[in-house]
Structure 1
Amino acid sequence: MSPLVLASVGPDFGAVGGSSQLRAIVGALLTFGLIVSVLMVIISAAAWAVGSSNGSWQIASKGKTGLFVALGGAVLTGGALAWANWLLDVGATL
């Protein structure tokens, strides 16, 4: 009997180009998302402060909600950038 030969069969990721362009596009979109999130944090914090100082609980409540949503968006956007970079690195090593 012949010995068992293990064949190395898998996709050729080197044949598909464009991962550097994909990395640049993802980075640019996520940078834009982070900039928008930071601007919304500033606007929501200002609305919360103005609403609290003037005694308008409706504006203060909306500002607080907007602040927490913007912070969550910033965290998710930053995490998505790290996750996308990790996936691109893992995909290159397959």
Structure 2
Amino acid sequence: MDVFPDFEGLSGIDGLREIAGALLMFVLVIAVLMLLVSAICWAIAAATGNYSGAAKGRIGVLVSLGGAILAGAGVTWLNWLIALGNQL
């Protein structure tokens, strides 16, 4: 039995795919920029002895890494679910 979602069943689905791809690109670009800025702030604050600023920079690095991981994991999870549905 071959079960696969019908991506062509709705009109405008190609536009929705393009929008989703563009949003994913923006999320990843913003996550990388946030990672760079937070890492620089963390390094400068740690070098000058500003431990409060260093802690905020470290939190920014962790949040940006988490956002990038969640964005990539969402795509991977969706592809896994589609492959799993095809096996049923």
* TM-score, normalising length: structure 2: 0.74
- Give the Å deviation of 1:36: 0.3
Tell me whether 25-34 or 81-90 shows the greater mean CA deviation: 81-90
SS at match of 2:31: helix
Aligned residues: 80
* 2:16 corresponding residue in structure 1: 22
For residues 46 and 23 of structure 2, what CA distance do their matches in structure 1 show?
Answer: 34
- Give the Å deviation of 1:14: 4.6
Deviations 1:46-87 (A, max 9, x none): 011001100000110000011001100011111223345566
Q: Which has the higher contact order (CA 8 A, sep 6+)?
A: 2
Instruction: Give the unaligned 5+ runs of structure 1.
Output: 1-11
Q: Flag the structure with larger Rg.
A: 1
* 1:54 corresponding residue in structure 2: 48
Moved over 6 A (4+): 87-91
Distance 1:88 1:30, change over 3 A: farther
Aligned runs of 1:5-16 on 2, under 5 Å?
Answer: 14-16=8-10
* 1:70 corresponding residue in structure 2: 64
* 1:5 corresponding residue in structure 2: none
* TM-score, normalising length: structure 1: 0.70
For residues 11 and 81 of structure 2, what CA distance do their matches in structure 1 show?
Answer: 16
What is the aligned-residue identity percentage? Answer: 45
